[in-house]
Amino acid sequence: MAFEYIKALHIIFVTTWFAGLFYIVRLFIYQTEALEKPEEERRILAPQLNLMANRLWYIITWPSAILTLIFGFWVFYFRWGYIQSGFMQAKLGFVLVLYIYHFICHKIYKDLQEGKTKWSSTQLRMWNEVATVLLFAIVFLIVLKSLISIVWGIGGLLILSITMMLGIKWYKKVREKNQSKN
C-alpha cells in the first residue's frame, strides 16, 4: 500500500515540476520582451515579472524537481528490477536530459534577474517546447514500457517537434504582421 502513495506523490511532483517549467519559460519570454520596451514600461514591468519568476522558480519549480527526484528514487527502490529494462534506461536518459534542461533554465533565470538577455523571445518560445517533447517521451516510455514502441515514439516526437516549430514560426509572422498594422 505504501508504494501506491509514494508513486502518487511522485506523479504529483512530476506534474507540478512540469507546470513550473512550462510557466517559467513563458515568464522568460515576457521578461525578455519587457526589457525591450521603453524605459517607462520597463521600469513597471521588469520588477513585477522578476518577482513572479522568483516565486515560481523557488517556491514551486525547484522544490518540485527535488521532490520528484526523492520520490522517484523511492519508487525505484520498490521496482529495482526495472533498471535492467531498456525502456527504464531510456526513460532515465530522458529524465537526465530534463534535469539538464532545468539547470539551463536556472541559468536563464539568473541572467534575466540581472537584466541580461542572451536569448530572443523567439528562441525562448522554441526552448519552451523542449519540455513538451521530454514530457511526451517520458510518459510514453513509462506507460508503454516498450523500447519497440520507442521507434514509433521517436517518429511521433519528431513530427510533434516539427509541428511545434512551424507553429512558432507561423505565430511569429502573425505577431509581426499585427504589430506592423499598429
Convert the pLDDT of each residue in 127-155 to its tens digit: 998 998 899 889 888 888 876 666 676 67
What pLDDT does residue 149 have?
A: 64
Annotated binding residue at 106? no
Helices (H), the chain: 2-35, 39-55, 62-78, 86-113, 121-144, 148-181
Annotated binding residue at 10? yes
The answer to whether 133 and 94 are in contact (CB under 8 A) is no
Query: How many CB atoms sit inside 10 A of residue 104's CB?
Result: 12
Task: Check residues 158 and 118 and name the one with the higher pLDDT.
Answer: 118
Percent of the chain at pLDDT > 90 equals 62
What pLDDT does residue 6 have?
A: 95
Convert the pLDDT of each residue in 38-55 to its tens digit: 999 999 999 999 999 999
pTM of the model: 0.83
- How would residue 169 be classed by pLDDT, with cut points 50, 70 and 90? confident
Instruction: Give the span between the Cα atoms of 11 and 17, in whole angstroms.
Output: 10
Task: Check residues 62 and 159 and name the one with the higher pLDDT.
Answer: 62
